[in-house]
A and B are shown apart, each in its own frame.
Chain A
Amino acid sequence: MNLDFTPEEQAFREEVRAFIEENYPKHLGDVGLREDLSREDFLAWHKILGEKGWSVPAWPEQYGGTGWTPTQRYIWSEENARVNAVMPLPFGVSMVGPVIYTFGNEEQKARHLPGIRSGEVWWCQGYSEPGAGSDLASLKTTAVRDGDHYVINGQKTWTTLAQYADWGFFLCRTDTDAAKPQEGISFILVDMKSPGVEVKPIKLLDGGYEVNETWLTDVRVPVENLVGEENKGWTYAKFLLAHERSGIAGVARSKRGVEKLREIAANETLDGAPLIEDMDFARKVSQLEIDLAALEITELRTLAGEQAGKGPGPESSILKIKGTEIQQRLTELTLEAVGSYAAPYYHSVANDDGSNEYPVGPDYSAHAAETYFNMRKTSIYGGSNEIQRNIISKMILGL
Chain B
Amino acid sequence: MDFNFTEEQDMVRDGLSRLVRELYDWETRRKAIESEAGWRPEIWAQLAELGILGMPFSEEVGGFGGGAIDRMIVMEEFGKGLVVEPFVPTVVCAGGFLKHAGSEAQREEHLSAIIDGSRVFAFAYAEPRGRYDYADLETTAKKDSDGYVLNGHKAVVIGAPWASHLVVTARTGGDRRDREGVSVFIVDKSADGIVTRDYETVDGRRASEVYFENVSVPADALIGEEGAALPLIEQVTDEAIAAHCAEACGAMKVAHAMTLEYSKQRKQFGVPIGKFQVLQHRMVDMYTAYETAVSLTYLATIKLDAGEKERKRAASSAKVGVGQSARFIGQEAVQIHGGNGVTDEYAIGHYFKRLTIFENEFGNVDHHLKRHVSLA
Contacts and interface: CB of A to CB of B under 8 A. Distances in A.
Given A268-B131, A280-B366, A360-B199, A376 B331 contact: yes
Contacts of B132: 339
Contacts of A205: 342-344, 349-350, 352-353
A130 B276 CA distance: 20
Looking at chain B, what size class is its interface with the partner chain?
A: 35 or more
Contact of B199 (A133, A342, A349): A349
Interface string B245-277: 000000000000000000000011110000010
Contact of A128 (B131, B136, B202, B339): B339
Contacts of B342: 204-205, 373-374, 376-377, 380
Contacts of B338: 133-134, 380, 384
B199 A272 contact: no
A143 to B, nearest CB: 23
B342 to A, nearest CB: 5
Contact of A370 (B129, B158, B202): B202
B236 interface: no
Contacts of B128: 341, 361-362
A139 to B, nearest CB: 12
Interface in B316-333: 327, 331
Contacts of B334: 376
B268 A203 contact: no
Given A133-B268, A205-B349, A339 B369 contact: no
A151 interface: no
B155 interface: yes
Nearest to A275: B131
Interface stretch (B46-54, B284-292, B297-305, B356-364): B356-364
Given A204-B344, A339-B131, A340-B155, A345 B202 contact: yes
A343 B278 contact: no
A389 B203 CA distance: 32
B356 to A, nearest CB: 7
Interface in A111-170: 128, 131, 133-135, 138, 157-158
B345 interface: yes
Interface in A353-389: 359-362, 369-370, 372-374, 376-377, 379-381, 384-386, 389
A269 B129 contact: yes
A373 B330 CA distance: 11
A275 B132 CA distance: 12
Interface string B182-204: 00000000000000010111110
Contact of A280 (B155, B268, B339, B370): B370
Interface residues of A, number: 54
Contact of A342 (B176, B327, B343, B360): B360
B126 interface: yes
B276 A344 contact: no
B294 to A, nearest CB: 24
A348 interface: yes
Residue of A202, A362, A376 with highest tally of chain B CB at under 10 A: A376
Given A269-B129, A369-B356, A386-B278, A341 B155 contact: yes
Contacts of B335: 376, 379-380, 384-385
A343 B343 contact: no
Nearest to B269: A135
A369 B364 contact: no
Contact of A360 (B131, B197, B270, B343): B197
Interface in B42-61: none
Contacts of B349: 205, 373
B228 interface: no
B27 to A, nearest CB: 15
Q: Is the interface of B mostly helix, strand, loop or mixed?
A: mixed
Contacts of A128: 339
A344 B202 contact: yes
Interface in A84-106: none
Contacts of A135: 268-270
A142 B32 CA distance: 41
B302 to A, nearest CB: 28
A45 to B, nearest CB: 27
A336 interface: yes
Contacts of A268: 129, 131
A62 B197 CA distance: 58
A386 B278 CA distance: 8
Contacts of B229: none
Nearest to A209: B344
Contacts of B201: 343-345
Contacts of A293: none
Contacts of A377: 339, 342
Nearest to A335: B356
Contacts of B136: 271-272
A281 interface: yes
A372 B335 CA distance: 14
A343 B203 contact: yes
Contacts of A362: 128
A275 B156 CA distance: 20
Contacts of B197: 349, 359-360
B276 A386 contact: yes
Interface in A315-366: 332, 335-336, 339-345, 347-349, 359-362
Interface string A202-245: 11110100010000000000000000000000000000000000
Contacts of A335: 356
A368 to B, nearest CB: 10
A128 B199 CA distance: 36
A196 B128 CA distance: 52
Contacts of B199: 344-345, 348-349, 360
A380 B352 contact: no
Given A275-B131, A341-B128, A344-B200, 17 more contacts: A133-B339, A134-B268, A138-B268, A138-B269, A158-B339, A202-B344, A204-B344, A272-B177, A332-B327, A336-B364, A336-B366, A339-B364, A344-B156, A345-B202, A348-B199, A348-B200, A376-B341
Interface of B: 126, 128-129, 131-133, 136, 155-156, 158, 176-177, 197, 199-203, 207, 209, 267-270, 276, 278-279, 327, 331, 334-335, 338-339, 341-345, 349-350, 352-353, 356-357, 360, 364, 366, 369-370
Closest 10 CB pairs of A and B: A205-B349, A348-B200, A203-B344, A135-B268, A345-B200, A349-B199, A343-B201, A340-B156, A369-B202, A135-B269
19 contacts: A134-B268, A135-B269, A202-B344, A202-B345, A271-B177, A339-B360, A342-B202, A343-B158, A344-B200, A359-B197, A360-B197, A373-B349, A373-B352, A374-B342, A376-B334, A376-B352, A377-B339, A379-B335, A389-B278
